Amino acid sequence: MPETLFTIGFHSSMSSIKALEFTCNENEINLNAKLKSLDTVQKPGGQKVTEAVFVKQQGHAGLGQLTIKKTVAGDNATFTGRAFILTQPVNVSVFRS
């Protein structure tokens, strides 16, 4: 059975990495889906967004327990990605508790 994916675009003016973390954790719980990736994209009209892709889950175990930090060499992250914070692209590392 193919994965069910949800893609959400967060505005490029996200105030902080902590705000991104809160938003992603909230979306995991509301969508019953795990965050799979973060990337910076430019929409056809020129709008810059952080694109978050979530994968539907069968249960709530482990959802809403993300920690997101600015990437540092040697991170043992679940995955790394990119996000717009205050309109600037930032490399981020995502950890799951």
Question: Would you state the pLDDT for residue 1?
Answer: 63
Q: How far apart are CA 72 and CA 86, in angstroms?
A: 20
Give the contacts of 59 (CB within 8 A, at least 6 positions apart): none
Determine the structural domain holding residue 30 and report its residue range: 5-96
Q: How far apart are CA 45 and CA 37, in angstroms?
A: 23
Say if residues 34 and 41 touch (Cβ distance below 8 Å).
no
Say if residues 69 and 17 touch (Cβ distance below 8 Å).
yes
pLDDT 10s digits, 17-43: 999 999 999 999 999 999 999 999 999
pTM (2 d.p.) = 0.93
Number of domains in the chain: 1
